[in-house]
Structure 1
């Protein structure tokens, strides 16, 4: 399997790397700045002053002050086996995703749904995190205004509420919302990952489904928990559209996509990602925001928008890096981008 993967990478990049040998980090536009030299999977604090991020997959969690660049460790005060997600809860506590056990000889088992669990780390950092007693596939979705969360397990998406009893967080009223078998074609039976609640309508949950030929197609969906209805915003374009951070007005969402590489197929198509802004309406129109993959050896991913809608935090990586890996956190000023995007 490893040899096959290596051959696929060689096929994907062998003829493309000659196009450009210049890293996009050497020529950032003036509306993008680098915040950290390492890290991945950023999440904005509610006041926009700090960003939470993972050091690396199965690593520690850190918080960085945006104004000063000061980095504070959040998980150094207890022993653990590493985390894959860290997200601010509405009350300022932190939702963690990580496995109880880690095997360096077979690391990826600690990322799958059979082993990854959800935990709550209290913001005072005076104790180890509290286990919520459920497993989670990839990233959970966290409400910005309520203590509601949603997560995927297998091909089912669940929702619950975090409550505190004698100061100890626990999960209550949790239940399954739907399975991938409930989705309309072509996504019926595909794998699922939750992403965001609509900040303007908590009954609307955004997620994406991925599958198709070789598993390299992904579609952005919403699910209305009251009306029990799905909306497909990608509309089967045959591309990879992975839902990321939502804009605070609830009208647009960031996605990772390969729409600029529509002629690429298979592994090549999957690895050539940049960040786009997708309208959450009947058009599903998209607008490209980052151009890191103009050099096919790089990509930009995991974009999230500050609560005031002014900034986007994201990560850059090498295109062949595993999904989710980041090599540093960057900030994009969306107001400046709006003014200059037509001049590119």
Structure 2
């Protein structure tokens, strides 16, 4: 069944690409508030001082760090042998949380992105030693606190939470436990697949995640979970659109999402090929505002946005519309203050 599903995705992607109207690349005419900082890479994450961006070379690739002001790129995982990583995120102490499998088979690569094989690791910021495995598996991206050593991750239909501690300077996961399963989510997300995204930077008692399901799995809702009150909130109220949670602003009032709201006439599998970046208000109104327009040419998309800790800049990636989820072809930075001046107050 899984093989048929992947074949169907490939068929839709190819048919979509062949029918798309050719047009200029959005990189050919970037607005003055967007700067391309790398010409390869994906899944950006801001350093706490806003001076550097961590990113993955490619799915199952090495991890790099780019200095935004100079464009200097530093390899972070060249000092040890590995099978490639799918996520890299700064921890509160500056160390790096990695997600990747112990084994990689180029003839069957996607198994290394499967939750049954992908594990979490901690790489110390001095880059003097290989990363240390935390002993847990993770489905897609983990959520990392920007203030504490807390992390959350999904596995199967369950979301877990834990704390990274250092015993004799060796990172170790402690006090970890399940938070909830998708079976207790409110409708329409009950029983859907889950991926963690962010802790609320103002009140870390709330964890943001997204649930995706519906027909072909291409409906997604941005949700929050109050850890103390054990209460769920549906923030996107997407009504059969695809809204995937991404970076959150430091005031906790707005979140960046990937969405296909500008192409609601595209139904089924094609929805996943029509993404751009939006801002979602976290006030339960479901109000959104479009931020990027890369998908105005249906051959391209913008995705995986994250916000610097001061709220001034957004890092994101560009890709071809038919690229697999998460694939990026370079990291860009948007000056949000300059963007506000250009388009008026949001």
- Asked whether the two chains share a fold, i.e. TM above 0.5, the reply is yes
The equivalent of 1:323 in structure 2 is 325
Structure 2 residue matching 1:312: 3-state secondary structure: strand
Contiguous gaps of at least 5 residues in structure 2: none
Q: What is the CA–CA distance in structure 2 between the aligned matches of 1:50 and 1:119, rounded to whole Å?
A: 21
The equivalent of 2:35 in structure 1 is 33
* Superposition TM-score, scaled by structure 2 size: 0.97
Structure 2 residue matching 1:101: 3-state secondary structure: coil
Q: What is the CA–CA distance in structure 2 between the aligned matches of 1:5 and 1:338, rounded to whole Å?
A: 37
Q: What is the CA–CA distance in structure 2 between the aligned matches of 1:74 and 1:190, rounded to whole Å?
A: 35
The answer to whether the 8 Å contact 2:314/2:334 transfers is: yes
Structure 2 residue matching 1:53: 3-state secondary structure: strand
Q: What is the CA–CA distance in structure 1 between the aligned matches of 2:156 and 2:302, rounded to whole Å?
A: 27
Query: What's the offset of the Cα at 1:13?
Result: 3.5
The answer to whether the 8 Å contact 1:254/1:303 transfers is: yes
Query: What's the offset of the Cα at 1:6?
Result: 4.0
The answer to whether the 8 Å contact 1:12/1:267 transfers is: no
The equivalent of 1:94 in structure 2 is 96
Deviation digits for residues 16-65 of structure 1 (CA, Å, limit 9, x no counterpart)? x22x4210010101110100010000000000000000000000000010
Query: What's the offset of the Cα at 1:269?
Result: 1.2
Query: What's the offset of the Cα at 1:7?
Result: 3.0
Note the 1:109-128 alignment, pairs <5 A: 109-128=111-130
Q: What is the CA–CA distance in structure 2 between the aligned matches of 1:315 and 1:82, rounded to whole Å?
A: 19
| Aligned-CA RMSD value | 1.2
Q: What is the CA–CA distance in structure 1 between the aligned matches of 2:92 and 2:34, rounded to whole Å?
A: 28
Q: Aligned residue pairs: how many?
A: 341
The answer to whether the 8 Å contact 1:163/1:170 transfers is: yes
The equivalent of 1:58 in structure 2 is 60
Question: Which 4+ residue blocks in structure 1 deviate beyond 4 angstroms?
Answer: none
Note the 1:1-344 alignment, pairs <5 A: 1=4, 4-15=8-19, 17-18=20-21, 20-342=22-344
Q: What is the CA–CA distance in structure 1 between the aligned matches of 2:171 and 2:284, rounded to whole Å?
A: 39
Query: What's the offset of the Cα at 1:339?
Result: 1.1
